[in-house]
Structure 1
Amino acid sequence: MDFLRPDTVMDLNNIRAVLIRMEDTIVFNLIERAKFPRQPSSYQKGGIAIPDFDGSFVDWILREEEIVHAKVRRYQSPDEVPFFPDDLPEPILPPISYPPVLYPHPNKVNVNDRIKDFYVSDIVPSICPEGEQKENLGSSSLCDVECLRSLSRRIHFGRFVAESKFLMERETMTAMIKAKDMAGLDAAITNSAVEKQVLARLKKKAETYGIDPNLMSSPNHKKVDADAVVAMYENWVIPLTKEVEVEYLLHRLDQED
């Protein structure tokens, strides 16, 4: 996605192509995480003692990496939404003047806390066996960070979907936004046929990428539970993406007003 060319960014076909590629990233990240047990202490505040930090081990790694990535201007990109926006330093690289593609203040739409909650409470237990391996706490937590980042980027990309649909149906959506018609906006952005295609495609990817062909006769040949991946999209990713889209649209006219 070339954010220096707004005309290509707002092409719904381009957006869908990016979302399809994100599926691959998410599936592979989940496969990597599924190699380790659940590691409950890594998600508990104080589960692993960290000097001068009041949070979990995964939170600490996530924040420290975001601080480094912010210095190379990762979070100036329109498609990035940090988990710790208040802790980020200024970049050491010169800023990039991106043309406006989202309005008015897209980073106000931030559901990362909810993403982290469902990931820890629902996704990890559905793909990882019970238990804890102290020797692999670092490795599993780094996998967690990659999973969280890829899920966050996918869900917050709903802002681009919402903007594209707004530009295509400006008059209709403007009326719904002014009326604060959340149900109408939700119906306008929903394409049930596309959602079914997404789930079917995701199941095939999880089944294909998540099977070791050399171990087909083994009961442990599956690297990840494909049904769990599909359920994650159906119960969390798609609904939360639509919430992001509706929330974005509700504030779409703020700057114009």
Structure 2
Amino acid sequence: MKNLIKCWVKETPVEPFARKVYDFFFQNNPPSNTDLTKDLVYNTQTFAVMKRVLKPDSNCIDVGCHEGAILTEMIRLAPKGTHFAFEPLPDLYQKLTVSFGNCPNVHIYDDALSDTEGTTVFQYVTSNPGYSGFRIREYEKPSETIEEITVRTNLLDNTIPEDTMIHLIKVDVEGAELEVFRGSVNTIKRNRPVIIFEHGLGAADYYGTTPEEVYDLLAGQCHLRVFLMEDWLRTNGQVCLKRTEFCQEFYHHTNFYFMAAP
């Protein structure tokens, strides 16, 4: 496993940070199986998948762009591609427009992607913006500060031109994955991209959605296979998750980051 992680991390933006984390935690005190540790592994896997999938002219979508770390890597790996990023938090959206304002091939939107078009209340977790979303969800700390704001919602299918081929989509929306996918069905079916997405207990269950619904949309309706990124990287896409296996990963909280691919 350690050698796999080294392979995933090498020559990616996360390598310097990963080395510091490894030196601090792993050399002296091996960490427990916490979500923080998993986040580091998922980040390295995400960069590794992108490195393997993207070509210089690939087109990408970042849903839940946050501060732009994934978008930056999309641009680095696919400098000739066209990239679409969505971030509804006003402060982060403004920062993204400044950071990527000189990139003519990058389009930043302040829409909160969903399966409906209009406006809605959005829970802005000011103490930890990464937890923000349509609904209040489970948080690590009970003292998180939340401000309700109004955001515009839209479908991905309304935004992406039909003549633009999409090669990779990243979705990190704190539980609203199914809503995003429902509003993206035409784009997904037309392009059959690689999709990297978060889907876990403590978030998605607050939306009343189930992993069965997510799997059925991606695999049944859009004809993609669903993977753990580790398995996809290790086997070159030969080992995918069955419906029951994907649901077990969710309900047991074994993993909460996945990918879908042809």
- Scaled to the shorter chain, the TM-score interval is under 0.3
Q: Which one scores higher on RCO, CA 8 angstroms, separation ≥ 6?
A: 1
Given the two structures, how large is their TM-score scaled by the length of structure 1? 0.26
Q: Write 1 or 2 for the structure with the bigger share of strand.
A: 2
Given the two structures, how large is their TM-score scaled by the length of structure 2? 0.25
